[in-house]
Amino acid sequence: MADSYTQIYIQLIFVVKYRQANIRPQWEQELYKYITGIVQKRGHKMMAINGMPDHTHLLIGFKPAESLSHLVQETKKASTNFINDNQFCPQKFQWQAGYAAFSYSKSHVERVYWYIHNQKAHHRKRTFREEFSSFLKAYEVETGRKRPFDFWEN
């Protein structure tokens, strides 16, 4: 077969360093448009992006021409520079090291899309810690000795 044919859906979660609520409503849409541009220029499809002041969710149609970790690294680096260059935050903005990624089948894409789209309403009922813990449990992600919230607490 001369070409590659893939259908890979990934939800990514980026967390602001120390879970600081630095993403402000005044500029979050600019940030989401910028991140969308980064993802799409790298050949992937942005399907949904939204979040809260301390974290961001993305749903992408992933093309395996590059590694997921490289896409995340470049997206976080460029978006950090975008925020800092535009002086959106009074202090230096940084994403937390690492990320979360969860894969989905085509039949789950619409549900994940709406889940991301409704982040603000969702978090009126559930904390990020509860949300993230449920992802780890639902996807049976083994954390071993790592404790994700040791570093995410203020």
Mind listing the pLDDT tens digit for each residue in 79-130? 999 999 999 999 999 999 889 999 999 999 999 999 999 998 878 888 777 8
- Is 152 in contact with 146 (CB distance < 8 Å)? no
Does residue 37 or residue 153 have the better pLDDT? Answer: 37
- Is 28 in contact with 79 (CB distance < 8 Å)? no
Q: Report the predicted TM-score, pTM, of the whole model to 2 decimal places.
A: 0.87
Tell me the pLDDT tens digit for each residue of 32-75.
999 999 999 999 999 999 999 999 999 999 999 999 999 999 99
Neighbours of 147 (CB within 10 A): 9
Alpha-carbon distances, residue 36 vs 29, 30, 55, 71, 154 (angstroms): 10, 10, 16, 12, 28
Note the pLDDT of residue 147: 60
Q: Return the percent helix, strand and coil in the chain, to nearest 5.
A: 40, 20, 40
Beta-carbon contacts of residue 88 (< 8 Å; ≥ 6 apart): 24, 27, 31
Domains of the chain: 8-138 (3.30.70.1290)
